[in-house]
Structure 1
Amino acid sequence: MSTYLRLRAVPPPALRNSATWLERLFGDSSAAVRHRLVRHHEEVLDKRYLDQERIYAGALSHRAEDRPRTQVVLGGRPVFRPDRHKPPLLVLTAAQARRVAGFLATADFDALWDVARDELVPRYGGVTAEPETWGAFAAAHQELKAFYAQTAEHGDAVVKWLPA
């Protein structure tokens, strides 16, 4: 399995429901993508992306349509690849990306950390390494927050790719 997850903002009119087209978004050089899509914003999460999702899984959702904890890192509508052994690409609509941006803008990272802490700290060196662990997850949270804020500001959708 890959050690990172890539998220890319895409203007909704440019979005295609084709795994081949979506894969090309990530295979092209940044300059080619920037030229084709006019805007370009991408976030790359390292091997901790699965654990980053655990932080958001502890967030309370008050309404069914507010399910950012299932969309922030790993969520989205799957677009299956021709090779079914590879993980699907995931797509969030512009509306879903706005909801995630809203959630992240108001989320209290420390409160989220407190819920996930007991599960995560032992995996990353225990209590003695907690300040560094907290720092790495807090930095990823800030990067996601910035990514989704910019994505929402432009009205873009999000495509997620887990290279196989």
Structure 2
Amino acid sequence: MSAYLHLRAVPAPALRNSPAWLERLFASDAETVRHRVGRCHEEVLDECCLDQERIYTGAPPDGPGDRPQAQVVLGGRPVLRTDRRKPPLLVLTAAQARRVAGFLERTDFDALWDSARDGLLPRYGGVGAEPETWCAFATTHRELRAFYAYTAECGDAVVKWRSKA
């Protein structure tokens, strides 16, 4: 069973603080959500999403105590689900999404990789597999950067849901 992290960006004015409303964002396909709330775009990360977070947590903060990178993959304000046994949904406001977009735009992936590679490579086949591993993480970084850039441009909020498939 693989874990996936779904990120959906929706117009900030449409966002509700209701667990049931947030769950419905993921009960429907993106086109249905787009019709219901006016706009929706998404990104889906595979089971490596937890390891992708390792790339960002080693990044230097923008300023004292300022760590927007912690919001990139796993972060956000938790909203407990109607079924409390399930992991919470995570919400980023439009302002937080803009900060993440700015962080991703300014950040040099190679510098992030250099700080995380020693912890990641053993999990993905060692030094011999570094080119493929680097490529997979760099691709996800580019996809996240594009997702958050578009999200920030639209002024959208982001809702995240971890699923098993």
Distance 1:64 1:28, change over 3 A: farther
CA distance in 1, matches of 2:144, 2:62: 22
Q: CA deviation at 1:82?
A: 2.2
Larger fraction in strand = 2
CA distance in 1, matches of 2:157, 2:94: 4
2:150 is the counterpart of 1:146: no
2:78 is the counterpart of 1:78: yes
Which portions of structure 1, spanning 4 or more consecutive aligned residues, are displaced by more than 6 angstroms?
Answer: none
2:102 is the counterpart of 1:116: no
CA distance in 2, matches of 1:148, 1:30: 17
Give the counterpart letter for 2:63 in structure 1.
R
CA distance in 1, matches of 2:129, 2:27: 36
CA distance in 2, matches of 1:42, 1:65: 29
Alignment of 1:1-164 (within 5 A): 3-64=3-64, 66-163=66-163
- For structure 2, list consecutive stretches of 5 or more residues without a partner in the other structure: none
CA distance in 2, matches of 1:68, 1:125: 30
Q: CA deviation at 1:68?
A: 1.8
Q: CA deviation at 1:93?
A: 0.4
Percent identity, aligned pairs only, is 72
Task: Indicate conservation of the 8 Å contact 1:66/1:99, yes or no.
Answer: no
Distance 1:11 1:64, change over 3 A: farther
Task: Indicate conservation of the 8 Å contact 1:19/1:80, yes or no.
Answer: yes
Instruction: Tell me the TM-score normalised to structure 2 length.
Output: 0.95
CA distance in 2, matches of 1:34, 1:64: 38
Task: Indicate conservation of the 8 Å contact 1:53/1:74, yes or no.
Answer: yes
CA distance in 2, matches of 1:64, 1:95: 19
CA distance in 2, matches of 1:62, 1:103: 8
Task: Indicate conservation of the 8 Å contact 1:6/1:162, yes or no.
Answer: yes
CA distance in 1, matches of 2:133, 2:38: 36
Task: Indicate conservation of the 8 Å contact 1:58/1:69, yes or no.
Answer: no
Q: CA deviation at 1:38?
A: 1.8
CA distance in 2, matches of 1:41, 1:136: 22
CA distance in 2, matches of 1:42, 1:62: 26
Aligned residues: CA RMSD: 1.4
- For structure 1, list consecutive stretches of 5 or more residues without a partner in the other structure: none
Give the counterpart letter for 2:56 in structure 1.
Y
Instruction: Tell me the TM-score normalised to structure 1 length.
Output: 0.95
